[in-house]
Amino acid sequence: MSEIILELKNANIYQGNAQILQDVNIRVSAGEFVYLVGKTGAGKSSLLKTLYGELPLRDGTGQVVGFDLTKLTWKTVPFLRRNIGIVFQDFQLLTDRNVHDNLEFVLKATGWKDRKLIEEKIEEVLEKVGLKTKGFKYPFELSGGEQQRVDVARALLNSPKLILADEPTGNLDPETSNEIMKLLMDVSRDFGSAVVMATHDFMVINKFPARTIKTEKGQVTDNARISIP
């Protein structure tokens, strides 16, 4: 039986004092790829923020990569995030550092000290995302697709059991979106990482079908049927 990577039971999700989602019940296992869909303002981002500890879980129960979400404190949130890879829509790369140094910064910030191991890990993830020869380049020298690949490489640095991707194809053209999707699917299959990807891109969902969770009118529907526009 596959390891359960994240699970929410009877969870209510809040943004400040406003309840955004109610009675959320989700379970995601190792190596599983899951889409998170819903209209803007329907709660996708609030759900993701709860999973990586930016928003507290007040009601119900929840665990992510072995951490009890109801017991997180400001001291334990960084340890949770070391076990999660996060891929952003807007990349969030450090513009004053090249690709190699962006990745090195994350490794050192999460406790890596051995120079040889740091270099080996950077080489490994850059090769995985197809950027082995681009480590010396700065973000402004890369295309949008290449910057997103760096973002995925950064998410892989600590061999996470879970990757949360927030609209990773939102700023990309269709061809580049397909490349990023293939990369994320490969990560899920080859590394065994669970991937939860929030998206509005129904073309991507149609081309790369997977289990879909939908947020709508304060409710969460698992294995939702999606109508492709």
The confidence score (pLDDT) of residue 169 equals 87
Q: Which residue in 48, 46, 84 sits closest to 65, CA to CA?
A: 84
| pTM, full prediction | 0.90
How many residues are present in the chain?
229
pLDDT of 71-105, one tens digit each?
999 999 989 998 999 998 777 899 999 999 999 99
What whole-number distance in Å separates Cα of residue 227 and Cα of residue 229? 6
Report all structural domains of the chain as residue ranges with CATH numbers, in order of start.
Answer: 1-83+161-229 (3.40.50.300), 93-159 (no CATH)
pLDDT of 16-38, one tens digit each?
899 999 999 999 999 999 999 98
The confidence score (pLDDT) of residue 223 equals 76
The confidence score (pLDDT) of residue 225 equals 60
Taking 50 as the pLDDT cut, the residues of the chain under it are: 228-229
Q: Which residue in 105, 101, 176 sits closest to 138, CA to CA?
A: 101
What whole-number distance in Å separates Cα of residue 123 and Cα of residue 144? 21
In our burial notation (b when 16+ CB lie closer than 10 A, e otherwise), range 115-144 reads eeebeebbeebbebbebeebbeeebeebee
Residue type, 146: E
